[in-house]
Amino acid sequence: MQGQIVLVTGPSGAGKSSTLAVLEDLGFETIDNMPLSLVPRLLDGPGLNRPLALCVDVRNRDFSVRGLLELMDWLGEADDGTQGKPDGRAELLYLDARPDVLQRRYSETRRRHPLAPAETAQIGIERELDLLAPLKARADLLIDTSTLTPHDLKADLARWFDPSAAQRLTVMVHSFSYKRGLPRGVDMVFDCRFLDNPYWDETLRTLDGRDPRVAEFVARDTRYTDFFEKVNDLVAFLLPAYAAEGKSYLSVGLGCTGGQHRSVATAVALCAALDAAGWKVSVRHHELEHKGRIAGVQQSGAMR
């Protein structure tokens, strides 16, 4: 088994079916409502000549969060010669939406929620969001569809998965809190904890690194400019090498103690620099997501 594998999941009504349709248009073989127990048998079949997208969610009777996480671990391990073992890249794509949006979509379609067939859709939505929280935290790519039109969703997916793009390599920059650990799958990590911390300034404590006042505070540290230039130079140096090797992704992590100020400000600056250099780049602020300040991935040109 070779090639790219994308596992699509998320709450009911967030746009998984629409996502599969877009991926099929982009050249993926797609399977909806795939039982987890059948995935290894599927991969044990004839080799694929195109990428594969599988939608796995609560509609299926053998679905479990633990089972999907174990499948991701298995897919992420190096090929050890086991029959059916993939040697391509496996990713978890999580489609999300705000609870009020999910409830509105259910009211428009008058469908029963799979986790509350005899109760209100709101109860089912609450149960499902709580159940899927570990998958949301584990996702390689998280797209919030709350305000997206079908055209917007297609454009976002094309940025990540269109194999015909002239420049396929995409950079994902993560800001994170060391208290919660490193994001899954980062290729390289830089520690921002040595920089002056805006947290100790009461006027900045409740803000985050996307705010110009916080970014200015961080940049005033005499060590910041040299640090940022070295990080940017290293990443810029490696990107052409990754592209020449046929890599599709480079994931960079920037961490600080709380994941709110220094790492976020530096991640925003790095994204801006890479975007100006012409690379496809997106940012994910893990701690801000956890605190509900931001949802999902921001693309180039929309980092703030």
Any known ligand binding at 201? Answer: no
Any known ligand binding at 138? Answer: no
Any known ligand binding at 117? Answer: no
Any known ligand binding at 10? Answer: yes
178 touches 258 (CB < 8 A) = no
Any known ligand binding at 116? Answer: no
Any known ligand binding at 33? Answer: no
Any known ligand binding at 164? Answer: no
Any known ligand binding at 16? Answer: yes
Burial category of 167 from C-beta neighbours within 10 Å (exposed 0-12, middle 13-18, buried 19 and up): exposed
Any known ligand binding at 107? Answer: no
Q: DSSP readout, 220-285?
A: TSTTHHHHHHHHHHHHHHHHHHHHHTT--EEEEEEEESSSSSHHHHHHHHHHHHHHHTT-EEEEEE
140 touches 92 (CB < 8 A) = yes
Any known ligand binding at 85? Answer: no
Any known ligand binding at 12? Answer: yes
Point out which residues pair with 254 in neighbouring strands. 175, 190
Tell me whether strands 298-299 and 280-285 are parallel, antiparallel or unpaired.
antiparallel
Any known ligand binding at 13? Answer: yes
Q: Which residues are annotated as a binding site?
A: 10-17, 57-60
Query: Which residues participate in the annotated binding site for GTP?
Result: 57-60
In the annotated binding site for ATP, the residues are 10-17
